[in-house]
Chains A and B, each alone.
Chain A
Amino acid sequence: MLGQVLLNGLLLGGLYACVAAGFSLVWGVLNVINLLHGTLVVLGSYLAWMAFHFLGWHPLVALPAVALLVGLLGAALQAGVLNRVVGSPVLVTLVITFGLELLTRNALLLGFGADYRTIRPASTWGTAQLAGLNLPLDRAVAASVALAMTAALYLLLRRSWLGRAIIAVRMDRDAAALMGVRVERTFIAAFALGAALAGAAGAVLGLVFPISPLQSDAYLGTAFTVCVLGGLGSVVGAIAGGVALGLVQSVGGFAFGSENATIVSFVLLILLLAFRPEGLFGRRGYA
């Protein structure tokens, strides 16, 4: 039984890592807490739902297109609005992303209503038996894809010119500018990457969870908690934090009843913030 709980936690953790990675990137590079992040995830789910419903595309097939669209929206928001307030006090950036969140959520509610929708491909993959544990294959595939995308972000940050520019801006904005990095464009790229990852996460999550604009708070809360657990602004931290949160929720839900899983994770969040704000695995590192 405990093995099953741990396995469920691990699968959940892979999805959480992907939800949090983009949020963590934006926070780390721009020093902006993107309250819009959860809504971007939901937007990704809806785009995947539309691709499935109208075009018959499987969410994993639609994923690149969804990521691209949400990423473009992110780039537009950063170029049009957020670039003006980078470096402002916390309250200003919080308020601005909250305003964008209100706007986007209102649009989603108008477009899709508040009722839950699901993506149910005709062929579900069923469940595999693994050493006496049930492994729901759609969840396993979703978690693997989510982890793979998170890993791709890591490689991008480490190996590409753009990634180096992003990390350089994160380390020292002025020095990066002096070295010829175009800081504003790098901000746009970072925010677009974060948004694209959020949209992609949404497409994958659509396979597993019901879709509704009301889910966005839960995703945002998850992203917060994962970042704090794993340490801010690092992809490895997002993966570690995601898995840790998945396990905590799974075990916490098992021990205290699933309705209390949220309380367990948020109490953990507050205590961690207070006593170990650099995260469980955190160091002052990059990527």
Chain B
Amino acid sequence: MTERRAITGSWIAAIAISVAFFFAADAYALRLGTLLAMYVALASGWNIIGGMAGYPSFATAAFFGLGAYAGALVQQKGVPMPLAWAFGALVPAVAALAIGWVVLRLRGHYFAIASFAVAIVLRELTTNWTSLTGGGMGVNLPVLQISVIEQARLFFAAQTTLAAIAAAISALVAYSSLGFALTCIRQNETAAGMLGLDARRAKAAAFALSAALAGAAGAIYASSIFYIDPGDVFDVLIAVKPILMAMLGGAGTVAGPVLGAAVFFGFEQTVWAHFLSIHSGVLGVLVVALALFLPRGLLRWKRAGKAA
């Protein structure tokens, strides 16, 4: 019961803080909050395929970029923002089903590489398909005719709502038969298949959900900065950071990615502020230390050494 109470309490606290922040914070703080919310959404989304199913996906950047472009291009055609965001979630989800049909046959290293390659192919396609995407020049989005603080509030609300949806989806998945199937796949996929579990369907569902969340985050991101280009939204760091966050908190759990995103965000901001020119080097040190000393995450550090 205490665990249930802790979960309810965390939800209420998170919502209360977000609402208070929405009204009290200035535009700069709201922008930071928006980024944090995006991290929560990305980490929770990755966690469904990467943590729960144990498939080390580097395709987050692919789906983030695809969602950003899908949302931006229909928004340019005059589609209202919320619909564009939904479209930005739909396109990557469908793409994930198609791509997953090929890459989800692979396991371990091979899956990691293939998912990595998907992001590179999409980035190159976007760069070269100039007639649709504007190529390396990027896409400009319509600028909103509202004040700076209203914009900041709007995108904070959007990204935070998405983060809440992501956390809720990952909780629903974790306590559903899909979550059970994903855990079986992580532990022993061959055995799960022998017992009659349709691993292919479960993996496809997890991959598509994960892609939809990354895509929606990308679409909202695109709207909020008014300009995207392929190098920005298909950046490999967008694929890697959610993995680090989820691992930091505890991959495969519901709360882990949320906690990890918050800790990572705090760390990143500190490093950005103090060591701008060596920030990626410092990030590298953190990453190595994390993998060496805390491979199972903050949530489980006390239980380190026991089997998952």
Binding site for B on A (CB under 8 A): 27, 31, 33, 81, 84-85, 88-96, 98-107, 110, 217, 221, 224, 228, 259-260, 262-263, 266-267, 269-271, 273-274, 277
**Contact A84–B292 (Cβ < 8 Å):** yes
**Contact A95–B247 (Cβ < 8 Å):** yes
CB distance from B113 to the nearest CB of A (A): 5
CB distance from A145 to the nearest CB of B (A): 28
**Contact B109–A99 (Cβ < 8 Å):** no
**Contact B128–A263 (Cβ < 8 Å):** yes
**Contact B118–A270 (Cβ < 8 Å):** yes
B295 at the interface (CB under 8 A from A): yes
**Contact A90–B281 (Cβ < 8 Å):** no
Which of B85-93, B204-212, B236-244 is near enough to bind chain A?
B236-244
CB distance from A67 to the nearest CB of B (A): 24
CB distance from B272 to the nearest CB of A (A): 14
Option from A90, A96, A104, A106 in Cβ contact (under 8 Å) with B109 = A90
CB distance from B166 to the nearest CB of A (A): 20
**Contact A273–B236 (Cβ < 8 Å):** no
- A98 partner residues in chain B, CB cutoff 8 A: 240, 284, 287
- A224 partner residues in chain B, CB cutoff 8 A: 113, 116-117
Option from B117, B121, B236, B285 in Cβ contact (under 8 Å) with A99 = B285
* A–B complex contacts, Cβ < 8 Å, 30 sampled: A81-B292, A85-B291, A88-B291, A91-B243, A91-B251, A92-B291, A94-B112, A95-B244, A95-B247, A95-B287, A96-B292, A98-B284, A99-B286, A99-B291, A100-B284, A100-B288, A102-B283, A103-B284, A104-B284, A105-B280, A106-B278, A217-B236, A224-B117, A228-B113, A259-B127, A263-B124, A270-B117, A270-B118, A270-B121, A273-B110
- A89 partner residues in chain B, CB cutoff 8 A: 295
**Contact A90–B284 (Cβ < 8 Å):** no
**Contact B102–A106 (Cβ < 8 Å):** no
B258 at the interface (CB under 8 A from A): no
B49 at the interface (CB under 8 A from A): no
CB distance from B237 to the nearest CB of A (A): 9
- A81 partner residues in chain B, CB cutoff 8 A: 288, 292
**Contact A102–B117 (Cβ < 8 Å):** no
Tell me the bound Cα distance from A107 to B251 in angstroms. 30
**Contact B113–A33 (Cβ < 8 Å):** yes
CB distance from A38 to the nearest CB of B (A): 12
7 nearest CB pairs, A to B: A99-B287, A102-B284, A106-B281, A103-B284, A99-B288, A96-B291, A99-B284
CB distance from B38 to the nearest CB of A (A): 21
**Contact B128–A260 (Cβ < 8 Å):** yes
Option from B106, B278, B286 in Cβ contact (under 8 Å) with A274 = B106
Tell me the bound Cα distance from A106 to B240 in angstroms. 16
- A100 partner residues in chain B, CB cutoff 8 A: 284, 288
B120 at the interface (CB under 8 A from A): yes
- A105 partner residues in chain B, CB cutoff 8 A: 280
Tell me the bound Cα distance from A267 to B120 in angstroms. 10
**Contact A95–B110 (Cβ < 8 Å):** no
Tell me the bound Cα distance from A270 to B127 in angstroms. 19
**Contact B292–A90 (Cβ < 8 Å):** no
Chain B positions 113 through 135: 1 when the CB is less than 8 Å from some CB of chain A, otherwise 0: 11011101100110110000000
Q: Nearest chain-A residue to B106 (Cβ)?
A: A273
Which parts of B198-225 form the interface with A (CB within 8 Å)? none
**Contact A266–B117 (Cβ < 8 Å):** yes
A-B contact sample (14 more), CB < 8 A, given A217-B236, A269-B114: A27-B109, A33-B109, A85-B291, A85-B292, A89-B295, A95-B240, A99-B285, A99-B290, A102-B287, A103-B281, A110-B281, A224-B117, A260-B124, A262-B120
